[in-house]
Amino acid sequence: MNDLLLRALRCEPTERRPLWLMRQAGRILPEYRALRAQHSFEELCADPDLAAEVTLLPLDRFPMDAAIVFADLMSPAAALGVDVRFEPGPRIDKPIRTAADIRALPRPGAGEIAPEVMATLGRVKEALAGRAVLIGFAGAPWSLGAYLVEGRGAPGFPRMRALLESDGVA
């Protein structure tokens, strides 16, 4: 098993520095660009087979020590009944504006949150077969909440801050 990254993270001695691409999927790779010509970003994220393929692209081309799962930090939004579109960044047509909006959101179970990401992780783990470790990520509550309230990326997230200041429950 290639555990070089894990050993480095534990501050253990390693024979070299671990290598991986910081941008998931190596978006500059021609293989990725070819997939993007056929599929939208949303399609690549929503289809576990495509997301797994994209995740593995850098490792098929370079001797990497880790793969970063191809997903979007907004993936959990679907479980909240929120539709997200990309233009190119995340856009939400009906953003959350009040504490009542927050209380009205469904409370999904763990298995209902981003099942496509869970399926992608399983496919990638199987395909890696120990040749590299898998790095996952998730939208932190602030990041996800800020997009849900703002409706898009916004410098300083003023609506999110205003909602938090006006209603401590939010």
Q: Is-catalytic flag, 36?
A: yes
Closest CA to 84 of 101, 102, 98, 72: 72
Identify whether 97 is a catalytic site residue: no
Q: Which residues contact 7 (CB under 8 A, 6 or more apart)?
A: 13, 14
Q: Which of 23, 33, 61, 131 is catalytic?
A: 23
Asked whether the beta carbons of 18 and 88 are under 8 A apart, the reply is: no
Rounded to 5°, angle at Cα 120 from 114 and 124:
150
Catalytic residue among 27, 91, 97, 159: 27
Among residues 7, 36, 97, 159, the one annotated as catalytic is 36
Instruction: Identify the active-site residue in 32, 65, 72, 123.
Output: 72
161 is catalytic: no
User: What is the sign of the dihedral through the CA atoms of 59, 124, 34 and 90?
Assistant: negative
Residue 27 annotated to the active site: yes
Candidate list 32, 65, 123, 147, residue with the active-site label:
147
Is 32 marked active-site?
Answer: no
Give the catalytic positions in this structure. Answer: 23, 27, 36, 72, 147
